[in-house]
Structure 1
Amino acid sequence: MSGRMQSFVPDPDAADELRRAFGRFGTGVTVITVQSPQGPLGMTANSFSSVSLDPPLVLWSPATRSKRHDAFATAAQFCVHVLRADQLDLANHFASDGLNFDRFAWTPGPNGAPTLTQCLASFHCDTYAVHPAGDHSLILGHVRHAAVQDGDAPGLMFDRGRYGTFAPED
């Protein structure tokens, strides 16, 4: 089943339409962490992507209007955590509160960034580059250590402003 395509020019008057169009691309959900002067800091992000295998690079993009932006854009190291489908509470928490880690198990990672336990995968990165990109920054990380969880637990997905997951295979 397909619907009618609505065409528009992506100017400031069409910001809602552009957000809706971008939202049609479903993504995985991550929590990015750093060690800040105030302690461990986290942020939920669905803007994560692998970039290169050689060297191993990843990318994510925080909004410049975020109160947490500068801590992440200036950090020398960070960790990306890929969330399981049953970690919606973790995603919601770090979408609104970056400093309170009390409810979640974590340890300092190999690069000092907080490592949340029980995630599907984690990537400990040195900041490779930070580029301004409109109302966001592009943060590239050089992966120095990675871990992946055994098993077939599904990942937490984000599509059209909603969290969800894929139905299990038969």
Structure 2
Amino acid sequence: MATTRKTRPIPLLALFIAWLVPGAGHVYLGRTLRGLVIFVTISATFWAGMAVGGVMTVDSQNERWWFVAEMFTGIHGLVAWHQSKSFTDRLAAEKGPVENLDEWNALLNSEGVYLPYPTENVARAYAGVAGLLNLLCVFDAVILSIMGVTGEPGARRKQPAEEGAP
């Protein structure tokens, strides 16, 4: 059963670790099983999107709203952003400045990393939805820490009137 401990969890700490590593906020609150389920679900969803779309799935220049959603996955989004940024910086250094988006897309296509229409939507949807799901989990961890609730929730106890019922 969930309990209230004498030293209350720190909401800002719960917020930060829940964002940084999906599920870690719940582990911090003593809800290890829930934290593990959150971690596996968010991670699998995000990296499935990355597997579909590749290095250009997380694109801070051309897909800003998706980028914001992807950054809610914490360390996963940061690692993918670093990969994308490293790749684009290397490409820009090798090929020189690009005038417009069409030239950039042609350059990406020549490197084999351009995301065509249906693929980019699926990839970014998976990665972005993973971030938005983690945002909900962050809110849950923060609210639980504000309430001082820790530990795994217990099984529902029978009321005295229910004990005699078949």
Q: TM-score range by the shorter chain?
A: under 0.3
Give the helix-richer structure, 1 or 2. Answer: 2
When Rg is computed on C-alpha atoms for both structures, the one with the higher figure is 2
Q: TM-score, normalised by structure 2?
A: 0.27
Higher relative contact order (CA 8 A, sep 6+): 2
